[in-house]
Structure 1
Amino acid sequence: MTLPVTVVIPTFRRPDDLVRAAGSVLLQTGCPPFDLLIVDNDPGASAREAAASLRARLPASITLSYRHEPRAGVANARNAAVETVRTRLIAFLDDDQTAAADWLASLMDCHTRFPAAVTFGPVRTVLPPGSSLHTDYLKEFFSRPEQGATGYMAKSFGCGNSLIDLEAIPPGRPVFDASTNETGGEDDVLFSRVRLAGGRFAWCAEAVTFEHVPVSRASLAYTLRRAIAYGQGPITQARRQTPPDWPAILFWMGVGAYKLVVNLALYAWGWLTRSPDRAWHIDRAARGLGKLIWWISFRFYGASRL
């Protein structure tokens, strides 16, 4: 039996991107009727008109709902979705993504064959026209690489392009930790809880989405800041334990120092020789730096963008 599902698109001040993302959802094929929920996380409700315009394009098989969550923050937006949906399954699509026509059908088929708390699919990068410097690096940075054949796996990724089974995640509300509203990582916190509770993750190689990178993000100036924040991830998890896991924190700081020194040297050599690989080295150096300055929060979402 196919379980009912809601596709959720959280959005923040990207009405044009929202229309593009939702438009790809309206073109889904091979799946039973489903709900589409747009969660507008802008206090000014900037997505309201875009959501209204989509109603005129709705096929009979899709029910569209709009939820305004005025408290800006990625965790708040996702929690609002969990509070609103009437289905057991939630398929999350980011507002800067689009989905292949068989995306939802593939996720649902995977969940039937490989029941899991969370199912993930690949994300492919679409760079803005004119991007030429560090193209290969940028494509890899914004993508979610293939993980092999469809089936169970140990890894977890971000919420964008994921299917969450609300009955298979640990109990307790809110589902997403509000302390991550501005920094992101709300998905990492949840999926760590899932892992500790014995929940399973699955990979659906056929459920492809595309991430459309704006010009403002297609540069090292943006990606390196994100790389520093990503580098903080293992220490953030160690700090969240009660009590904090100080041996792990010290271990990861040592790893960070090594990565910083080695990759700065490799980047310097790559810059001198104009190696096309140099962007990866400075990215790894930035992730190492993140482990050394773990107490500094980098804010990308929520109130930090108001």
Structure 2
Amino acid sequence: MRTPSVTVAVVTYRRTAMLSELLPLVTTQAADLPGASVLVVDNDPDGSAAVVCSGHDVRYVAEPRPGIGAARDRAVREAGTDAVAFIDDDELPQDDWLSALVTTWRESGAAAVAGPVLAVLPGPPDPWITAGAFYPRPNPPSGTRLGAAGAGNLLLDLGWLRAAGISFDPDRGDRGGEDTQLTRRLVRSGGEIVWCADAVVSETMPAERYTRRWLLQRRFGHGVVSGELAVELAGGFAARQVARTRELLAGGCQVVGGATRAALGLGTGSARHHARGLRTVMRGAGRVVGALGGAFAAYRRG
């Protein structure tokens, strides 16, 4: 039986120090797995990653179109293998990450396999952030079926993508959400996304992202993508109007409910109610904006 081949795809943009730390780890894991190789897609027009890649057993390509959607789309088109396993340039794989993803993919026959991303925080946690449950991220049991997944730790069966006519949308530019869009479309086409709790990567959280403001903005951005895609993927005109109305109502309820809880938290001195209430407000507000056709530039450059 032919050994299925897999490309480890690293999409990068001006994070040369982090890339220097990541590449030895992924190339070592790829070398230990038959049929595996590493591809780096550099989204920097100045080609800053080229020098870093020159010292490693990787294939380097430059993607001139700006935006993470364009870079991920280029990785899919360049892979030339049975599957592609994405890991971000600010992440590090734990031992056996790649083999765990590939084993789960082979044994399950799933269209995609996702794994946990553990945040490495820059210092002692802000009690308010802890109370708001911004971290840790969910880690369900292996084998759990998902409705969507992020691409920071994701293996995609390229045969499934080709059969379904699906790829990452390069036109999403700095909005992000290209991974949620693709994986939702994959599930709608009949593919399964399976969780692998053993395929773990860690993500270094810079101090500027470990703030209340940034985390609440992130919740808003997630809400925008959720509302936008709920309408986009609904189908025909009538179905889109129903989906838009549903998102507006649900998002509005979240704003009202979250604001009430946040006010309760302020009044009682409860950081838990205050933080989680504001989380809900931002998520709901984002859903309303997304359903109305608005956007949030989560990956704005400069």
TM-score (norm 1): 0.88
Given candidates 192, 200, 215, the residue that maps to 2:184 is 192
Task: Give how far 1:82 is off.
Answer: 1.5
Amino acid at match of 1:254: L
* 3-state DSSP of counterpart to 1:87: coil
Q: For 1:107 and 1:291, how far apart are their aligned partners in 2?
A: 32
Cα distance in 1 for residues equivalent to 2:60 and 2:135: 28
Q: Is 1:296 matched up with 2:297?
A: no
Residue pairs, 1:1-306, within 5 angstroms: 1=1, 2-28=3-29, 31-32=33-34, 34-53=36-55, 55=56, 63-136=57-130, 141=134, 144-148=137-141, 150-151=142-143, 153-171=145-163, 175-240=167-232, 241-243=235-237, 245-277=240-272, 278-294=274-290, 295-301=293-299, 304-306=300-302
Amino acid at match of 1:199: G
SS at match of 2:11: strand
Offset, 1:99: 0.7
Structure 2 Cα separation of the partners of residues 249 and 73 of structure 1: 26
**Distance across 2 between alignment mates of 1:215 and 1:137:** 18
Give the secondary structure class of the aligned counterpart of 2:174: coil
Q: Number of paired residues?
A: 294
Partners of 1:211 and 1:283 lie apart in 2 by: 22
Amino acid at match of 1:13: R
Mark the runs of 5 or more structure 1 residues left unpaired by the alignment: 56-62
CA contact (8 A) 1:122 1:205 kept: yes
Query: What amino acid sits opposite 1:40 in the alignment?
Result: D
Q: Residue by residue, what CA displacement relative to the aligned partner does 1:7-36 show, whole Å, maximum 9, x if unpaired?
A: 011011111122222233134386335211
Residues 85-133 of structure 1: per-residue CA shift (max 9 Å, x gap): 1211100001111111110010111112101111001111111125434
Q: Report SS of the residue matched to 1:37.
A: strand
More helix by share: 2
How many angstroms apart in 1 are the aligned matches of 2:167 and 2:28?
30
Partner AA of 2:71 in structure 1: A
Segments of 5+ residues of structure 2 without an aligned counterpart are none
Change (3 A) 1:48 1:26: same
- Taking a change above 3 Å as real, the CA distance of residues 71 and 233 of structure 1, as seen in their structure-2 partners, is closer
Contact 2:228 / 2:287 at 8 angstroms: preserved in 1? no
Q: Percent identity?
A: 32
Q: TM-score w.r.t. structure 2 length?
A: 0.89
Q: 1:113 corresponds to which letter in structure 2?
A: E
